[in-house]
């Protein structure tokens, strides 16, 4: 029987896989093929719909969320179903409608504030940081602020420096906020539901380029009661040679890098952070103690980034387990260029992750020879 399974792994998998890893991958493929496919856009839309249906205190507010069905069609159909009192189109004034949302949360409602891009949240940052994030502490726990700030974050394509910034590090540095960054459709559904139900303010960082991508969604995730825990990362791909951490769109890049590395006999463990604050330090450190190597990946600027925080955590808790220096992959330390060729150079690519992982495994020379 083991011989038959071994031949199946050999025919369907990568030669570097062991029997256990190969069977796990084949099983996941079989599951994926039977699971329903759903775009990230539809996952977010269904999560909003179900939470608004379950709790009349939940409402959506932002620019073009109603009559236009949302700038990215995330709120499609919600105005018709719930009416203009719960799906509110606003003027182009982030400071105004964000302040209204925070006040509504003080009153006990559960607003979902949509920014057309998180770059525009800079207009409203006083309400987010000084009002929403700090009120629970400043009221000695007497005042909850159950509000979600959501919208596309990070680089899109050809939109220039003022519309391409990643704000994960900005918001996750502030006590009182929770910061979530989904990658696939299951993340989007489960984490948005968790954010809306949470008693504290949540910054929910989506990615414009992921909205139209489809991912397998389990039957469990399609249930209206489905909810993912805040503060818990997910191991997307198990490995034993190097740990790669990523969030949002970079998880897909990390998984592609892991496939390339497997062809060279390097087994990479890919961690989808999901939650930026609170950060799942336990899962990260447990993985590093197994693989003894770490590569962090993010789209944001390198200084004071999420990767820097992960590096600090690993050096504090697992330094003696490291067999190589930690590698940080981040966006270039410049405002985002507009030219397409320069834009590609300014954000991490799959080949950057592969090179970094090979350096940690002391395999960089073979890559240079191949280049």
Helices marked H in 199-305: 219-222, 249-263, 281-291
Give me the sheet containing 234-237, strands edge to edge.
Answer: 234-237, 268-272, 242-246, 294-297, 327-329
What is the number of other CB atoms lying within 10 angstroms of the CB of residue 97? 23
DSSP 48-81: HHHHHHH-TTEEEEETTSSTT--TTSTTTTHHHH
Which among 163, 213, 238, 351 is annotated as catalytic? 163
Residue with tokens 């989904």: 182
- Rounded CA-CA distance 213/59 in Å is 26
Which among 94, 236, 298, 309 is annotated as catalytic? 94
237: left (phi over 0), alpha (psi -120 to 50) or beta: beta
Residue 94 among the catalytic residues: yes
- Using DSSP's 3-state secondary structure scheme, residue 248 falls into coil
DSSP 196-229: HH-SS-EEEEE-GGGTT-EEEE-HHHHSTT--PP
Residue 304 among the catalytic residues: no
Please, what's the largest Cα pairwise distance for the chain?
67
Q: Which residues are catalytic?
A: 94, 163
């Amino acid at each position: 029987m083991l011989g038959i399974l071994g031949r199946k792994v050999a025919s369907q998998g990568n030669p570097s896989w062991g029997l256990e890893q190969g069977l796990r991958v084949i099983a996941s493929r079989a599951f994926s093929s039977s699971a329903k496919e759903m775009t990230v856009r539809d996952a977010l839309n269904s999560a909003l719909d179900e939470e608004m249906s379950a709790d009349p205190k939940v409402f959506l507010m932002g620019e073009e969320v109603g009559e236009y069905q949302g700038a990215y069609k995330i709120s499609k159909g919600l105005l018709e179903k719930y009416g203009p009192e719960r799906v509110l189109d606003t003027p182009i004034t982030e400071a105004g409608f964000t302040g209204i949302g925070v006040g509504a949360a003080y009153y006990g409602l559960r607003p979902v504030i949509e920014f057309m891009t998180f770059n525009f949240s800079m207009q409203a940052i006083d309400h987010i940081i000084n009002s929403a994030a700090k009120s629970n502490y400043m009221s000695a726990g007497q005042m909850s602020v159950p509000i979600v700030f959501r919208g596309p974050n990070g680089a899109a394509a050809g939109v220039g420096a003022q519309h391409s910034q990643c704000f994960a590090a900005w918001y996750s540095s502030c006590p009182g906020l929770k910061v979530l960054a989904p990658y696939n459709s299951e993340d989007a559904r489960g984490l948005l539901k968790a954010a809306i139900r949470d008693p504290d303010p949540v910054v929910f960082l989506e990615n414009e380029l992921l909205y139209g991508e489809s991912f397998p969604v389990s039957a469990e995730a399609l249930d209206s009661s489905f909810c993912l825990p805040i503060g818990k990362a997910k191991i997307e791909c198990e490995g034993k040679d190097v740990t790669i951490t990523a969030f949002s769109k970079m998880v897909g890049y990390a998984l592609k890098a892991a496939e390339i590395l497997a062809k060279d006999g390097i087994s990479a463990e890919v961690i989808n952070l999901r939650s930026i604050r609170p950060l799942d330090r336990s899962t990260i450190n447990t993985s590093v103690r197994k693989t003894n190597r770490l590569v962090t990946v993010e789209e944001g600027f390198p200084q004071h980034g999420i990767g820097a925080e992960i590096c600090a955590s690993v050096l504090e808790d697992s330094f003696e387990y490291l067999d190589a220096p930690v590698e940080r992959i981040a966006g270039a330390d410049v405002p985002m260029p507009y030219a397409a060729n320069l834009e590609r150079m300014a954000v991490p690519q799959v080949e950057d992750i592969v090179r970094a992982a090979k350096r940690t495994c002391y395999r960089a020379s073979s890559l240079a020879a191949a280049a």
